[in-house]
Amino acid sequence: MATNQSPNITIMIKAARKASSKLRRDFGEIEQLQISNKGPGDFVTNADIRTEEILRDTLDQARPGYGFLMEESGETIGSEKNKRWIIDPIDGTTNFIHGIPHFAISIALEDNGELVAGVIYEPINDQMFWAERGNGAWLNDRRIRVSGRRHMGDSIFATGIPLVKKSQKNIFKQMENVISKSAGVRRFGSAALDLAYVAAGRFDGFWETNLNPWDIAAGIVLIKESGGIISEINGGTNLLETGSVVATNPNLYTEFKKTIYKNQ
C-alpha cells in the first residue's frame, strides 16, 4: 500500500478487508443464502446484515466516539457528534445475490459536515479504491486520476435505472440524450463502483438521481481527489441530501451536464 495512508484510512481499509472475507465465502454459496425481499428489485441478505455488523464493530473499536449512518441499521449519534462513518455494506446487492461479481463495500468518513475520507472495496477482484482529502485517490498502491478525454463522442458514461417506475421516464430520456452524443452508456448496478471507475478513468462520467448518502459518500471523496468534478445534476452541492449526482472530468463537465437535461 501507499505510504501516505492516515490512521483513519488504515482503519477503514482494515474494516473493509475483514468484512469481505466472509462476504467472499457467502458469494461462493449464494444458493444457500436466506434472502428477504425489501421491495421490487431491492433485496437484503444475511450477508448485508453480517457485513454491516463486522464493519461497525471494527470501526467502533478503533474510534469509539464516532457515529454511524448505515444502510441497514440507520443512524447512530456518537459522543463525538461531528464525526460519523457513512457505510453501505454491499453496494450492488442485487448483483451479489444473482452471482454477478460486481459489488462493493463503501465506507466514508464525515467530519463536521465535510467528507474527508472514502474507501470502496471490490472484494472479488481485490480492488481497494481509497482517497483522503489532500492525499489523492488510489487503487491499491497506484495513484489514479479521472480520464483526460475532451469530447463526449470519445467517452463512455455510467448511470443507474431507478426502481420506481414513475422515475424511469426521465432516466430513459437522459440516457437517450447521452447515448446520442457519446461512445456509449453502461448500467452495472453499483453507484459506488461507478464513481470509483470514474475516479480511475475507466468511465468518463456518471450520473444518477434518487441515490442515498451511503451510495455516494465515499465516491464523492474519490472523484474530488482524482481531479474530477462532482455535483448535483443542476450544479448544486447538496448531494447527500438530494441524491442527485453528476461526476466527470473537468473537460466534459459542462457539456455532459447540459446533455443530460436536454429537452427536459
Q: Are 100 and 189 in contact (CB under 8 A)?
A: yes
The hierarchical CATH code for the domain 7-144 is 3.30.540.10
- Its pTM stands at 0.94
pLDDT of residue 45: 84
Condensed to tens digits (0 to 9), the pLDDT of residues 159-184 reads 998 776 656 778 899 999 999 999 99
pLDDT of residue 72: 87
What residue spans define the domains of the chain? Answer: 7-144, 152-260
CA gap 47, 40 in Å, rounded: 19
Each residue of 23-35: b (16+ CB within 10 Å) or e?
beebbeeeeeeee
Architecture of the domain made up of 152-260: 3-Layer(aba) Sandwich (3.40)
Checking if the pLDDT of 133 tops 90, the result is yes
CA gap 209, 17 in Å, rounded: 29
Condensed to tens digits (0 to 9), the pLDDT of residues 9-19 reads 999 999 999 99
In the numeric block, the cell 426521465 is attached to: 170
Give the confidence band of 264 by pLDDT, cuts at 50, 70, 90. low
SS3 assignment, position 140: coil
Side-chain half-sphere CA neighbours of 198 within 13 A:
37
Instruction: Give the chain's mean pLDDT.
Output: 93
CA gap 227, 119 in Å, rounded: 17
Q: Are 214 and 87 in contact (CB under 8 A)?
A: yes
Q: How many CB atoms lie under 10 A from the CB of residue 68?
A: 19
Q: What is the 3-state secondary structure (H, E, C) of 79-113?
A: CCCCEEEEEEEEECHHHHHCCCCCCEEEEEEEECC
Condensed to tens digits (0 to 9), the pLDDT of residues 47-81 reads 999 999 999 999 999 999 999 999 888 999 999 99
